[in-house]
Chain A
Amino acid sequence: MNDILKLTAVELSTKIKAGELTAVDAVEAVFAQIAEKEEDLHCYVTLDKEGALAQAKEVQERIEKGELTGPLAGVPVAIKDNMCTEGMLTTCSSKILGNFIPTYSSEAVLNLQKAGAVVIGKTNMDEFAMGSTTETSAYGATKNPWNTEHVPGGSSGGSAAAVAADECFFALGSDTGGSIRQPASYCGVVGMKPTYGTVSRYGLIAYGSSLDQIGPLAKDVTDCATILEAIASYDEKDSTSQKREDTDFTKALVNDVKGMRIGIPKDYFSEGLDPEVKEKVLAAANLLKEKGAIIEEFDLALVKYAIPTYYTIADAEASSNLERFDGVKYGYRTESAEELHAMYKQTRSEGFGAEVKRRIMLGSFVLSSGYYDAYYLKALKVKALIKKAFDEAFAKYDMILGPVAPTTAPKLGQSLSDPIKMYLGDIYTISVNLAGLPGISVPCGTDAQGLPIGLQLIGDCFAEKKLIQAAYTYEQARGKFGREDA
């Protein structure tokens, strides 16, 4: 059993197609691991063993008939609980959606199912993806598999922890300000946020629509590229979906960075960065240099303005997107209200947690008459300047290299009391969302406590292949990475 769990998604599918294992074996192995680990880690909100076994049986038959031949056929996958799954509870880790069973599946999930992946359950997250630790979930915190006294990061913390703990072979997450890359970094797995518009947002419960992107959390770069290739698609149902011809991302799994120009923003390595994180990330840069990349420091403008810009825009969009949760069509409804307007207000007040309310209120304020120009419009103008700063950087460099987060995973219970301090942890990830860029997080070492550190590579829009190639080359040079006890 244990041997199965050590396989990557692509290796597993290869063995299944070769007849050495079955898709049912894989589901059984994953649920045995879940039975052992889940009580300590709490990666999932919902698990569906029966459904997974039924899917696996069907997939196995189709593999045997030769109908399913792709690289993810037969592989068990976990889905972040903000993506709709037909007939399976989808809560966004919120009380307000505690009983919501979607009548359709999100496009990304359908794409995976077409590829023969087997959905086993829904992973825990910060409520409505608002948070950096998975502690704002209405269903309890997820623990970091590397050290259960620490958070897994967030908001896709359940997905990252499930991959790290072998409670699935890969997972989908969503990234609005770092919510794939940061938990990937904290849990020592690979996570990628694609260019905005690459993966359909249809069926993804919206937080900040102009920033949200779905992406993979995986055991290695090969799996990551393979998953992204499977989920990327043009979708008429998402008006921001981009028509791309270059989604054959696995073609970029090439061990070569000779002549690649990589820029290191000085501001990403100044005040506030943990010295151990700095050391390991710079060591990774050095390794790429040894492999032939050209590494250069430069000044990326406006770094400190990304956080206030992001929280203005994201909260504004959230306040609008979350208006739909009103106790009428789905989800929780208060029992205490006798007239409609009071029902709306009571339902929302009882159904949303503190961080969600905080963001909805700030968002409502910055969009309100009299403050719209000073806050919301100002933030959209600064966003344009930030985008321009990246455009200038990518005129000189193929990619930008930096840390994912200023520190390794904090201890549980230490982050929520000071929201602004928590938001500051997003400094290296959120500008990527503002500018719609792709970014990948790859493990590059551990700190003295034994907690993983992530290396981030950021590319220009549509330059995923460059990132995958550099990340793959780094991974090959770095060698094996994982927990000693695992």
Chain B
Amino acid sequence: MANVISDETIEYVGILAKLALSDEEKEQAKKDMADMLDYIDQLGELDTEGVEPMSHIFDTCNVFREDVVTNGDDSENMLKNAPEEKDGMYLVPRTF
């Protein structure tokens, strides 16, 4: 069945993906996403009843280490990459 992406869905996806889309981009995104979902829907042909979802190919579970600091304080260098900084902190526009 052909998927149709509604205006509401693309608005919602824009919020989740934190993207501000132009009207033109929204129309393109609706088409691209519908095409892709039609394609992905092929997976519905496969019976996956009782199949365990595989997120990791090895049996590795959580890998723990001691919570000990091993690196030095590099904050000064790191802040050099910040678009804006003030008093050793990241500066952002007003939050509300």
Contacts and interface: CB of A to CB of B under 8 A. Distances in A.
Given A210-B56, A328-B92, A349-B21, A305 B78 contact: no
Contact of A384 (B52, B60, B96): B52
B93 A340 contact: yes
Contacts of A339: 93-96
B50 to A, nearest CB: 9
A311 B18 contact: no
A362 B33 contact: yes
Interface string B45-60: 0101001111111101
Interface stretch (A61-69, A234-242, A474-482): A234-242
B63 interface: yes
A477 to B, nearest CB: 33
B93 A384 contact: no
Contacts of A305: 42-43, 46
Contacts of A348: 17-20
B39 A308 contact: yes
Interface of B: 9, 12-14, 16-21, 25, 29, 32-33, 35-37, 39-44, 46, 48, 51-58, 60, 62-63, 65, 74, 77-78, 80-84, 90, 92-96
A308 B43 contact: yes
Interface in A322-337: 323, 326-333, 337
B53 A308 contact: no
A271 to B, nearest CB: 16
Contacts of B56: 210, 240
A146 interface: no
B83 A312 contact: no
B16 to A, nearest CB: 4
Given A361-B19, A368-B12, A328 B54 contact: no
25 contacts: A196-B57, A196-B58, A240-B63, A305-B46, A308-B40, A308-B42, A311-B36, A311-B39, A323-B18, A328-B90, A338-B94, A339-B94, A340-B92, A345-B18, A348-B18, A357-B29, A358-B32, A362-B33, A365-B13, A368-B12, A375-B40, A383-B53, A384-B53, A385-B48, A420-B35
Interface string A381-402: 1111101000000000000000
A382 B96 CA distance: 44
Contacts of B13: 361, 364-365, 368
Nearest to A326: B18
Most A-side CB within 10 Å, residue of B35, B43, B74: B43
A377 interface: yes
Contact of A361 (B17, B43, B53, B57): B17
B92 A331 contact: no
A344 B16 CA distance: 12
Nearest to A382: B43
A345 B19 contact: yes
Contacts of A385: 46, 48, 51
**How would you classify the secondary structure of chain B's contact residues: helix, strand, loop or mixed?**
loop
Contacts of B17: 319, 348, 357, 360-361, 363-364
Contacts of A333: 83-84
A304 B42 contact: yes
Interface in A264-312: 302, 304-305, 307-309, 311-312
A343 B36 contact: no
Contact of A420 (B36, B41, B92): B36
Most A-side CB within 10 Å, residue of B9, B56, B62: B56
Given A340-B92, A346-B20, A419-B36, 10 more contacts: A104-B74, A196-B57, A210-B56, A240-B63, A308-B42, A330-B83, A362-B32, A375-B37, A436-B57, A436-B58
A387 B43 contact: no
Given A309-B43, A358-B29, A210 B53 contact: no
A191 to B, nearest CB: 21
Q: Which 8 A-B pairs have the closest CB atoms?
A: A380-B53, A333-B83, A436-B57, A330-B81, A384-B54, A381-B48, A364-B16, A345-B20
A190 B83 CA distance: 40
A207 to B, nearest CB: 15
Most B-side CB within 10 Å, residue of A197, A236, A312, A364: A364
Contacts of A304: 42
A241 to B, nearest CB: 8
A321 to B, nearest CB: 12
A381 B43 CA distance: 10
A147 to B, nearest CB: 30
A260 interface: no
